[in-house]
Structure 1
């Protein structure tokens, strides 16, 4: 297994890995109404369950916001998140995500309130999320943030990690576009707030070279 490498674009517009990201993370588990089809090279661990991840990074390598919808997956004994959808509000963050980690990042606008955010892209609203902190504090804990990506026909794996002060939270989906998988409930389970958090995202590693899809097939079915 070796670190992923890719030609550096002329006048590279994003920082090299590792990235250090400090700020607040809000997360919870949601369930899709219908089964999800995994990306090539991995299998799902929990069928329809997904992690909803909201980051607002204000310290470190870059200053940006991030919305992630990911499935729990594995390749052999190696677990990680399959990033199905991811939006950011920063061009270098987008380019770095694509070139360094093989993530399907897109641009969006984040309209932040005290305990809520509305995320929209060029096609309209994506989601509105509301959260409220709970009374259960779990202290400052390490949090693994391992994830898969694909680039140039290769399956990538990144062993990011964070350390944060973890507090339980109630996370609610107030608005949800039909461009995303339909959910069984607007209430996320296992909601939590990581504030403050500090994540380190190292270079990706190549796990495998994926077979070339045959004509008329797609890398991933469904949304």
Structure 2
């Protein structure tokens, strides 16, 4: 069995996010008991390329999609698709929080423009390029929850993070026949880079 850290995980690195508006009928399946947040008839998906780096407990790359769901006064999301290039992260994410992590090859190139690509042995998933724009001089703290199914019940996991946010221009290329195909042809509402983040995941 692959060993992994006990929760909470303390992680750090760089993240590149896009927010998408999606018709609720086109969303991927959510865990039983969860409903998407709707505004003017639309639901919302956040995609993220994340490079976990030292001094965090684990170092690996990640691509994920999270649907904003109803969760009371705290922002809450449910991860519907996620790929990592670490067997340790995959095993821990599934066992501790019910996060449906799968393995993939992820290639990240950092610079003024960040580029990323993800694919499996059988298909390509997506590529993207983020060009950083103006940013905040401070790293404000933020908190949210991730809701997944674990052992047949909903598990809400708290997340605390701090990062330096920068607006970004993002260009995505998504496999229309792949697992993120429901985003093909759409333009993100907003894209940001979260520089030098620190994150505490889990209770």
Q: TM-score, normalised by structure 2?
A: 0.87
1:186-215 Cα shifts (integer Å, max 9, x gaps): 432221111110000123xxxxxxxxxxxx
Alignment partner of 2:169: what SS?
A: strand
Structure 1 segments unaligned to the other structure (5+ residues): 1-10, 204-223
1:39 is aligned to 31
Structure 2 segments unaligned to the other structure (5+ residues): none
1:73 is aligned to 69
Q: TM-score, normalised by structure 1?
A: 0.79
Alignment root-mean-square deviation, CA: 1.9
Q: Which has the larger radius of gyration?
A: 1
1:178 is aligned to 177
Q: Distance in 2 between matches of 1:138 and 1:169?
A: 15
Count of aligned residue pairs for this structure pair:
193
Counting only pairs closer than 5 Å after superposition, residues 14-93 of structure 1 correspond to structure 2 as: 14-32=4-22, 34-36=25-27, 37-46=29-38, 47-59=42-54, 60-75=56-71, 79-93=75-89
Runs of 4+ in 1 over 6 A off after TM superposition: none
1:91-145 Cα shifts (integer Å, max 9, x gaps): 0100000000111100011112231001011221100011000124363111224
Q: Decide which structure has greater strand share.
A: 1
